Chains A and B, each alone.
Chain A
Amino acid sequence: EIVLTQSPGTLSLSPGERATLSCRASQSISTSYLAWFQQKPGQAPRLLIHGASSRATGIPDRFSGSGSGTDFTLTISRLEPDDFAVYYCQQYGISPRTFGQGTKVEIK
């Protein structure tokens, strides 16, 4: 199965700062079947990005995704208070559709 490794484990930033989250795959993900999710305590994950770089409906443009092959990045251009949460990447091109272990973005 494809293992997704996210880094860093925790990111401590202030509102207004830029967040850069990494997701590295153990093998190439074809056709960029890579998604990013945001999750807050007690809630289900929320889809932010699909196809590595396409924002889901209703997602603000401060969220952007990039990358291909084995290296992918989620960027939050200017953090707002509502953005402090845990972020997961998922590959959905090969079964099992594995998730990364998450990056927590916390308020500094």
Chain B
Amino acid sequence: GAVVSQHPSWVICKSGTSVKIECRSLDFQATTMFWYRQFPKQSLMLMATSNEGSKATYEQGVEKDKFLINHASLTLSTLTVTSAHPEDSSFYICSSRQGETQYFGPGTRLLVL
């Protein structure tokens, strides 16, 4: 199956700082990538759909100014959590779709102190 990588795998930051998470599709070109958030013991919540060369589509209730998404190339999408607060602490997972199948990155654990 397709390979999707994420960097970093862990990040700890102070409240008020911004954090950037990278998502790369390693063996195929992805015009669309997806960003999910997962709270402990819960399922994945789709935050936004990242579109190469155009604006991301955000799900209802997700602040676009808080979670900035950039999809500058066919292999890279980034999620920037701006002015992070402790409630933004979570597990963030990206994915890319090849045909009908979604392939997921390994996730990024964010802890905001």
Determine if chain A interacts with chain B.
no
Interface set of B (CB-CB < 8 Å, partner A): none
